[in-house]
Amino acid sequence: MLPDTLRSWNDLPEKERDTLLNLKAEKRLTTEVFTALNLRMTYNSLRRKLNEHKTVFAVKQQIVRTVTMPPSPSKRYLDYEVLEGDDYIIISDIEIPDHSTLYLERALLLGMAHGVRKLIIAGDLVATDQQTLNDWLRLWRVEDLSYEDTIRLTRDILRRLSTWFNEIVVIEGNHDDRIARKTGGEVHLGMFIQGDKVRYSRYHFLWVKNSDAKYGLIGHPRSGSSSSVKLAQNIYNNTPAPDGSKPIWVYTAHTHHAQSGFSGDGIAQVFGLGTGREYDLTGYAAVAFNTFARWSSSIGMIRRKYPLNITHRDDWRFWLGEYYPDDTPAIAIE
């Protein structure tokens, strides 16, 4: 045996020291065993080192038996929505009271035309542009609805949507949570709009699990981007599904730009949902003078597990079929 292949006490890992200590206690640490260890020390030196290690070993055993860490008192944030199904209509950034009537009616008719009875509202259901909640009115004073009026209108719109949709899930957007921020979290939008067919989630995202046990992701990011597809790609790259897999599709709201594409690895479809808020009804956007792209609208649809993003430029006569209103762009929902 070459000298430089011999090991010192410091070369022995903790687990091996524990094993040798057990052998010594059981009187099985023979000279034959010692020779096979290839140690740079005598047999008696090893026994002295193991006697010293016995104290350390006893301390470790005591710690294992008696020391436990206190559990965290914090809430475990795992109660986000996980919907199960293959068919959904998805809308976002409606921002009542500046909503597009046509946009909402097309969402309703699209669900009717394709037999889809579940609706997801991907954040910013209400605008909450009131003086006390937003800085805009301090700069440009206009006659605006009170928050109470806005909630009353929101409830009416949800009631009309629920004449067809038997499940409506709303996730929280940055506009929706203004009232929560102003009240220190004591009051939030969900307190005013939940009902038999409407659920409100304080999370800014939800998952959809299809009949193949594959997950899709819908969310309202806090970060903006001039490219909603790039934003969706980044979210795809960094957000694993509840089972640890990659999502098979991603819809992102918030940007107000309707776009469609693929993840960087070419596996998942990614979409930027457009807005259901009318540009010309939105003071802070309409009076601005800049190079930002004008908003665009789209409605997402999951049909038989396949994702679509139908934009304002698509052929709505095709998508709505017999439900397309020939005489007027809108129909009464009463």
Q: How far is CA 18 from the centre of its chain?
A: 46
Query: Among candidates 331, 311, 301, which has minimal Cα distance to 110?
Result: 301
pLDDT given for residue 77 in this prediction = 87
Question: pLDDT value at position 137?
Answer: 47
Confidence of residue 174 (pLDDT cuts 50, 70, 90): confident
- pLDDT for position 179: 79
% the chain with pLDDT above 90 = 57
Q: What is the mean pLDDT of the chain?
A: 87
Residue scoring higher pLDDT (271 or 181): 271
**Given a cut of 60, is residue 329 above it in pLDDT?**
no
Fold (topology level) of 82-323:
Purple Acid Phosphatase; chain A, domain 2 (3.60.21)
Q: How much is the average pLDDT of 179-184?
A: 78
Residue 41 has pLDDT above 50, yes or no: yes
Residue 239 has pLDDT above 90, yes or no: yes
Tell me the one-letter amino acid at 276. G
Query: pLDDT value at position 333?
Result: 38
pLDDT digits (tens, 9 = 90+) for 251-284: 999 998 899 999 999 999 999 999 998 877 666 6
User: How far apart, in whole angstroms, are the C-alpha atoms of residue 229 and residue 293?
Assistant: 14
Give the per-residue pLDDT at 207: 98
Judged by average pLDDT, the poorest of 131-135, 220-224, 234-238 is 131-135
pTM for this one? Answer: 0.79
Give the model's pLDDT for residue 281.
67
User: What's residue 102's pLDDT?
Assistant: 93
CA 124 to CA 33: how far, in whole Å?
A: 72
Reply yes or no on whether the pLDDT at 134 is more than 80: no
260 vs 287, residue with greater confidence? 260
Sorted by where each begins, the domain ranges of the chain are 3-66, 82-323
Residue 79 predicted with pLDDT over 80 = yes
Closest CA to 223 of 212, 234, 214: 234
Task: Answer whether 276's CB lies under 8 Å from 154's CB.
Answer: no
| Arithmetic mean of pLDDT, 238-245 | 96
pLDDT at 285: 64
Degrees to nearest 5, angle at CA 329 with 325 and 275:
120
Within 189-304, residue ranges assigned H as helices are: 190-193, 228-238, 283-286
For residue 304, is it left (φ>0), alpha (ψ between -120 and 50) or beta?
left
Segment 318-328 mean pLDDT: 85
Kindly report, residue by residue over 92-120, the tens digit of the pLDDT: 999 998 899 999 999 999 999 999 999 99
Instruction: Say whether pLDDT at 136 is over 60.
Output: no
